[in-house]
Amino acid sequence: MRTRPYIPLLIFALFFLLINGYAFSALTLVFPPVVYSWLWVIPTILFLAFSYSMIRLSVNGPTQLFKISAHSLLIYFVSMLVFVLATVLTDAYRLVLAMGKYFSDGTFNFPQRPITGIYISILLGLLIIIAFIYGIIKGKYAYRVIRHTLYFDDLPEAFDGLKLVQISDVHAGSLKNPKAVQKGIDLINKQQADLFVFTGDLVNNKAEEIKPYLHHFSQIKAPLGQFSVLGNHDYGDYIKWESDLVKNQNLQQLKNYHAEIGFRLLLDEHVKIEKNGQHLTLLGIENWGLGFGERGDLQKALQGTNKEEFKILLSHDPSHWEAQVKNSPSKIQLTLAGHTHGMQFGFEAFGFKWSPVQFRYKHWAGVKQENQRILNVNRGFGFIGFSGRVGIWPEITLIELKKNSLKKQDINFI
């Protein structure tokens, strides 16, 4: 039984009240009093609808009202927060001017807010609203290929130039547009990869969620095979089941669907990928993530391997790389993960990237190299929770392996 969130809602209500009060004090310069008096109607309705649906969540589970109110409140809140931050900068500038005047002639005169600054703040808030609307309608299916060329001195010669495609976090229960998903599948196959890997979270909770998309994902083919691992959502831990038996049956059915799609599911084990008389070792573990279940057994997956082998590890959660992989006595040259989604919200441009998820994960997207080992975190193919993506687009990763440790890692975007 879920507890009703009265205290969190009260804390949020107080913060929400302060944010709106500060913002509306600035808007008095733009709107006449009769309009200003009605400004409170919008946030009040949004908050009451969200609060009601949150309280009923413990009884009815997620409803359409909850989804609509949560998304509307999120868009409003983030746009208002951006407006407030821009206004704070304006007010800080006013304070600097006032303090300068005080120290020069002893009088303190706080100048009025410049109307231009208010208009700029409004424009920024409107841009955020537009970005969220785009992210909900189009952005969540705006699949992009991100290319990495990675160099290793111990890569077997036969695999020099190998192309590997990675996707992660399909979350089939959230997908509602089969035509858009097919475009993503076509983009995957267009890369003509030698090897395909999927790094977990095929569904949100139940195995049946993937059934409408079995045909789509079964189209993915690679000459050296298609391999997968499980993510934290695949175990069904986030909903209530009739019994442990039913929950276990659901997990087994999901494993069967991996096989039906054509994915070789790796469960704390490894396989050897053969080419021209040489091989590399592909390992896959069950989900291991700080705060998300530490099921995976890396040592079990490594049994039967040796230190000289070139190894690629599929591990859903990047916190596993930080905790166990990057300093493992048995060197694992490349780890492929997902899980973070880049929080489906952030900013990436001109080599700079930012997302709130960085406060939870040390490395949350793209390539990281440490201790002569490389981690790549895929931003996810699907979405969950927030039904959209803003600035952090769904990703298809294309990695080319090259034999040369002296080269700089190349990262290219399409």
Bridge pairing between strands 226-229 and 195-199: parallel
Write the DSSP string, 331-393. ---EEEE---GGGGB-EEETTEEE-GGGGT-S--SEEEEETTEEEEE---SS--SSSS-BSS-
Average pLDDT over residues 324-346: 95
For 70, the token pair is 């949560």
Tell me which residue has tokens 């695949």: 234
Domains of the chain: 6-137 (no CATH), 143-413 (3.60.21.10)
Q: Kindly report, residue by residue over 231-279, the tens digit of the pLDDT.
A: 999 999 999 899 999 999 999 999 999 999 999 999 999 999 999 999 9
Q: What's 395's DSSP letter?
A: E
Report CA 216 to chain centroid distance, whole Å.
Answer: 22
pLDDT at residue 414, rounded to an integer: 44
Least confident stretch, 128-132, 312-316, 327-331: 327-331
Angle of CA points 142, 261, 297, to nearest 5°:
95
Q: Which residues contact 67 (CB under 8 A, 6 or more apart)?
A: 387
Cα torsion through 326, 327, 331, 336, rounded to 10: -20
Q: Kindly report, residue by residue over 195-209, the tens digit of the pLDDT.
A: 999 999 999 999 999
Q: Kindly report, residue by residue over 204-227, the tens digit of the pLDDT.
A: 999 999 999 999 999 999 999 999
Instruction: Write down the pTM of the prediction.
Output: 0.89
Instruction: Report d(CA 240, CA 236) in Å as an integer.
Output: 8
**Whether 210 contacts 267, CB under 8 Å:** no
Least confident stretch, 108-112, 119-123, 354-358: 108-112
pLDDT at residue 101, rounded to an integer: 81
Instruction: Report d(CA 337, CA 335) in Å as an integer.
Output: 7
- pLDDT confidence tier of residue 407, bands split at 50, 70 and 90: low
Q: Which helix (H) or strand (E) holds 258?
A: helix 244-261
